[in-house]
Amino acid sequence: MDGDLVRSPAKDWVTLKVPVSMAEKMLDTKYHVWKHTESGDYLVRTTSYSLPTNLHDHVELVQPTTMFGRFKPEKSDIFSATPIPDSLIQATKGGSPVNAASGVTVDPSCNSIITITCLQQLYNAVGFTPSAKGNSVGITGYLEQFANQQDLQSFFADQRPDALNSSFKFVSVAGGLNNQSLAEAGDEANLDVQFAFGLSHPISPTFFSTAGMPPFIPDIGTPEDTNEPYTNWLDFILSHPSPPLAISTSYGDDEQTVPFSFAQRVCAGFAQLGARGVSLMFSSGDGGCFTNDGRNQTKFIPGFPASYDHTHPEVAVSRFFSGGGFSNFFARPSYQDKDVPAYLDTLPKGTYAGLFNPFAIPDVAAQSDLFKVFIGGQAFLIGGTSASSPAFTGFVALLNDPSLGFLNPFLYSKGFEGLNDITIGNNAGCGTPGFNASKGWDPVTGLGTPNFGKLKEIVLTV
């Protein structure tokens, strides 16, 4: 039996493959095939399971059992990738420069199209060249989202010519594929690698492709096409002797679809990476409104793993929902004890009572709309909170000399002085105006957007 077991690098997960019929006997349960009516995705799951009492102190959870999450890119349900018309390109030429919050002059074209140059101008990083020695940056890819090398070269030619002919290291996780056909180029994957690696060049880049792709129609004989992808990637990266020092993930699901015990265990793995000096960024999602407890109640639904204790970039936009807010799983960390209550005290008494709990996201903000990305040989404009995570990660990579590791205690204690406070906007949704951006931390834009010049000076003093 021991030869059939696979243990995770930290020895806290044990994987054992057994027939469903045996799992049903072991867990005193019955599995069924479930279909998600909107997406058509299928899962083999159960609604409950049990273990002998004498095992309760030794087994934290068993999966797959009650996790009904549909792992998906955190992109807006309203806005999708749109080809850039020639008329828009012509319209962006000329005009008067505008001033960013950081005091830097920004090209007026950035009101219509976001490029590497726009982000460098907006966030005060023009002219900075990092040292690539000992530094690294990574992007996680799931759901057969392929990062296309030819598109990357088109992007570099358009926005980062000094990076032409450079590329990223591809790493397959659990059989993840690397289809380089232009027809299979992934919008999410291309967005992530083009902006994270374009901003951080010449820092060593890595793209991780983790296997697993819905829709998958299971039966009792073949219930799974993959294990939960986060655990696959976590097992792999925790066994890696030198993981990238800044890693962006633009994938997740509603927090309520993830069993609490599973969320705790996954987040323990993320914490191990933070302890090793790795900075993790997760997009905070594009919104959710209704409970899945059979009552379909209106409630602000955060995303997972964004709802856990990492760095969550977000920004207030008008074309799609912004998923900032409050976790229903995790207690507020001590470093938020000053900022979050200060914001809540500004709200009229009873505002959104019963709709949220006090652990807050996001932590920071960045642009997330109108990004110019090359997909399948063509330029597109793309938006969604998934854009803010690789963008912020690119700036973190520039700061990582030496590595900053888990960022949040630094951001809330000192780093906020190097962020541009956003005080205009809101994250409307669920039939409400949502929360407002305001002075200091808020659940729309967190502590604010990066002012790289100031952040670099602060990092050198801590």
> Catalytic site residues?
188, 192, 386
Q: In this structure, what token pair is assigned to residue 313?
A: 């970039």
C-alpha–C-alpha distance, residues 316 and 323, integer Å: 9
Neighbours of 153 (CB within 10 A): 16
Residues 6+ apart with CB under 8 A from 130: 200, 202, 203, 397, 398, 401
Strands 32-35 and 42-45 turn out to be antiparallel
Neighbours of 117 (CB within 10 A): 16
At residue 150, φ and ψ (nearest 5 deg) are -65, -40
String of DSSP letters for 114-137: B-HHHHHHHTT-TT-----TT-EE
C-alpha–C-alpha distance, residues 12 and 35, integer Å: 31
Q: In this structure, what token pair is assigned to residue 347?
A: 């709200």
Residues 6+ apart with CB under 8 A from 276: 243, 405
